[in-house]
A and B are shown apart, each in its own frame.
Chain A
Amino acid sequence: MDRADHVSILYDGEKHEVPSGRTILSALEEIGIGFVRGVGCRGGVCGACTVLYRISDETEFHAALMCQEPVQAEMEILPLPYFPQKKVRHSLDLPEGETPHYRVVNYYPEINRCIMCGECSRLCPVGIDVMGYVGMIKRGELREAAWESFTCVQCQACALRCPGQIPQPNAALTARLFHGRHQVPQAEHLTRALEKNRKEDIHAVIGRLRRMKPVEIQALYQRREIEPQNAPPGTWLPEDRTLIMMG
């Protein structure tokens, strides 16, 4: 069975010869193993295709996304399509006198159980310092936690091996939501745009464009003034201001 361009792997307890140079997912499909559950985006962002694997001779095992990870010889692979993890259903309300930090820890008090073993950070297939963001949440550094956890694809690998039984990705989600809702300033220019739109009759101006003949509107389109790439935010204005409703 040994073919030069094939490697031998163990998937869900069964041995298979699969083509090398592929992702685990496409290698398995190539030999006829299809997926209904356990595959979603095929692009490394949905976390549906989490697996645990170990190379035969080694002790250490790893987590990976099947749609991203190249197959290697002697991989033993366990699919992990689902992991029952605590998730709190909560609103984003902040009762009088409470801080976002307090709210998050209140929903996920488990984060205080972190013993800093580092297993979660080691496993995370997208390279997030999970232990790091757990610590940040604990210390009330929600902004830092939000950005450290920002590319989390909710694959659950970190939660799987946590000795503190901490649902890290869900705690991070709550931290991001409270940070976004209560700590990031609202965009004032957007508030002004909304006010302007309420005052002006946008539909009337659009109506004027809609009544133009094809050649007229095409000419208007070709004449568009393009905001320069390097214009500092909110500073540039076009010569012709009729379409932006400034006279």
Chain B
Amino acid sequence: MATNLTKFPSSFFQKEELNQNRIQPDDLGRTELSITTTILSSSNRTEQPHILKLLIDELIPGDTLWPKASEIGLDNVILLRLFGQESSALFEQLAPVLDCSSDGLLSTASANRTSAVRRFEELSPALFEKIYTAAVLAYYEMPVVVEAIRASGRPYSASPHADGYVMPAFDHEHDTPRHGRGSYMRTGDVTPLDLSSLDLDAVSTHWGLQR
């Protein structure tokens, strides 16, 4: 039986003060951008969703097999996932880094639109990464896209946990390894090694992919 304490040392537990120190959620880097910019004027608010549609169609365009991103409503999914009730925040952040002029994302020339997106990627890689990742993950959840994957001939379920996939059971006769490789050192066989050749204290190894 636990004892309810009525005189716990106040210095040990100061909730009011401590709660001020709670960490704030990273939330995929939501707080990493602090762009001071002019909010797109209310007259342009109706264009905002259109701009996002144009952007995601540059990221994931369509072809004969695959729908383009805006066709399947990806813009709304992205807004919901990244910005929830604060969708205007996306456009506040996009405004200074995404060229929405008639020579940029609104251009009829594909090369101009691609350049505008590439410039956005260079100017604001974190925001670009956030939007692109959200777009890709959402895109491949969409039923029509799942159907396109299946049409390629591969088995694929967007929610595989429910039914799983059929696989043949392990066949002991055919699947057991026959290579005969492998050994291990028994407890009593472990003996001291001569490490003098290693020079672990004196050398500083450059390591990794850039070595």
- Answer whether A and B are interacting partners: no
Please list the residues of chain A having a beta carbon within 8 angstroms of any beta carbon in chain B.
Answer: none
Chain B contacts to A: CB under 8 angstroms: none
